[in-house]
Amino acid sequence: MAKAIVKTQFTLPGQKGQYVGKVRDVYNINDEYLVMVVTDRISAFDVVLPKGIPYKGQVLNQIASKFLDATSDIVPNWKIASPDPMVTVGHKADPFKVEMVIRGYLTGHAWREYKAGKRTLCGVALPEGMRENEKFPKPIITPTTKADEGHDLDISREEIISTGLVSETDYTALENYTYALFERGSQMAADKGLILVDTKYEFGKKDGKIYLIDEIHTPDSSRYFYAAGYEDRLNKGEQQKQLSKEFVRQWLIENNFQGQEGQTVPEMTEDFVAQVSDRYIELFEHITGDKFIKDDAEDILKRIENNVVTFLKK
């Protein structure tokens, strides 16, 4: 099996610091730019799982890169270049401390809350009588807090503004960008026979200007259904065929793990890891319409370092 990169420790020209997220290792270059290395780590229920997934980082970085380019007319984004299949270099912006989650369909976390009897999510009223995976009359925004560690928490528009997390002017702009990005992403998915079910966007500010930051429309931040057979499966009450990380969450739930205290992550066999890798590659090819080309995996860390250093020296 190909090697998975789960840790990086580079010393780059102009480096001022390194932030290690659940999946990304981010290097601060002179407080002006960020070098974001998308590793092969995988997280679920806010827990980083013990094994990496080969090619996952390349898949995520290249999907995000494609969608950042395809939406730059809607909102400025942080990307400057992608000097390596697993790396994006971009502007360093001050991130807003909320994630803009937008949902077109009642599934995942929203369905679990709905099934438990809740009819309001993040201050948004939900219609009665909906079925799992049913389309909302119109997409809803259900923001979460952006936790430095631990779980992100649901929060309402009113709470965000009243607590000063984001000003009303900025939050209104974030909402408008979120709806427009989701519409574009939905159109692009439909062209490939997919449904963009839900996703999240993160934004930051630099020199008074709002930027779209981080990843966009990847299987880590989004859920996709296959459009073919969607209505039939919905009417029969069957599970939708989907391309997202939800199958990893379901596998964990079936093995009694949801990130709660005292629970143990089930063993990730080589076969399971290979299946997850294949699913990520499948999504890449479906959502981009491009053939996935596995990049040289002989010495990935050396390749990344060489490509990034060459770019920064320019």
Interval 176-213: pLDDT, tens: 999 999 999 999 999 999 999 999 999 999 999 999 99
Work out whether the CA dihedral 39, 58, 206, 29 comes out positive or negative: positive
- The pLDDT > 70 percentage for the chain reads 98
102, β-bridge pairs: 141, 199
Q: What's CA 114's distance to the chain center, in Å?
A: 23
Same domain (yes/no): 120, 218? yes
121, β-bridge pairs: 124
CATH number of the domain that residue 219 is part of: 3.30.470.20
Q: Looking at residues 96-123, what average pLDDT do you find? A: 96
Same domain (yes/no): 33, 85? yes
- The pLDDT > 90 percentage for the chain reads 89
CA-CA distance, 131 to 105, in Å (whole number)? Answer: 10
Same domain (yes/no): 194, 237? yes
- pLDDT of 296 > 80? The answer is no
**Residue 146 within a domain:** yes
- Residue of 77, 198, 90 lying closest to 141 (CA atoms): 198
228, β-bridge pairs: none
Q: Residue 1: pLDDT band by 50, 70, 90 thresholds?
A: low
- C-alpha distances (whole Å) from 161 to each of 11, 59, 138, 157 are 39, 35, 23, 6
- The residue among 161 and 151 whose pLDDT is bigger is 161
Q: Residue 150: pLDDT band by 50, 70, 90 thresholds?
A: low
CA-CA distance, 103 to 143, in Å (whole number)? Answer: 10
Q: What's CA 259's distance to the chain center, in Å?
A: 19
Per-residue pLDDT, 2: 78
**Residue 156 within a domain:** yes
pLDDT in tens, 46-85: 899 999 999 999 999 999 999 999 999 999 999 999 999 9
Both tokens of residue 177?
């960008």
Give yes or no for a contact between 130 and 237, defined as CB atoms under 8 angstroms apart. Answer: no
CATH number of the domain that residue 307 is part of: 3.30.200.20
Per-residue pLDDT, 146: 84
Same domain (yes/no): 51, 119? no
**Which residue, 244, 259, 278, sits at the end of a domain?**
244
Domain residue limits at 135: 97-244
Per-residue pLDDT, 145: 94
Same domain (yes/no): 206, 273? no
Same domain (yes/no): 119, 177? yes
Per-residue pLDDT, 300: 95
Give the count of domains, the chain.
2
**Residue 260 within a domain:** no
Same domain (yes/no): 28, 133? no
**Residue 264 within a domain:** no
Give yes or no for a contact between 59 and 281, defined as CB atoms under 8 angstroms apart. Answer: yes
Secondary structure in 3-state letters for 155-211: CCHHHHHHCCCCCHHHHHHHHHHHHHHHHHHHHHHHHCCEEEEEEEEEEEEECCEEE
CA-CA distance, 29 to 26, in Å (whole number)? Answer: 10
Per-residue pLDDT, 247: 83
Same domain (yes/no): 158, 239? yes
What's the whole-number average pLDDT of the chain? Answer: 94
Same domain (yes/no): 108, 206? yes
Q: Residue 297: pLDDT band by 50, 70, 90 thresholds?
A: confident
**Residue 208 within a domain:** yes
- pLDDT of 12 > 80? The answer is yes
Residue in the block written with tokens 């990520």: 280
Both tokens of residue 79?
């990307």
**Residue 34 within a domain:** yes
Same domain (yes/no): 22, 134? no
Residue in the block written with tokens 């809803």: 140
Task: For the full predicted model, state whether its pTM sits above 0.85.
Answer: yes
Same domain (yes/no): 217, 117? yes
pLDDT in tens, 236-283: 999 999 887 878 988 999 999 999 999 999 999 999 999 999 989 988
Same domain (yes/no): 278, 240? no
**Residue 251 within a domain:** no
The alpha carbon torsion through 83, 15, 70, 100 (nearest 10 deg) reads 150
Task: Name 78's Cβ contacts closer than 8 Å, sequence gap at least 6.
Answer: 34, 68, 90, 91, 92, 93, 204, 211, 212, 213, 214
Task: Name 20's Cβ contacts closer than 8 Å, sequence gap at least 6.
Answer: 26
**Residue 256 within a domain:** no
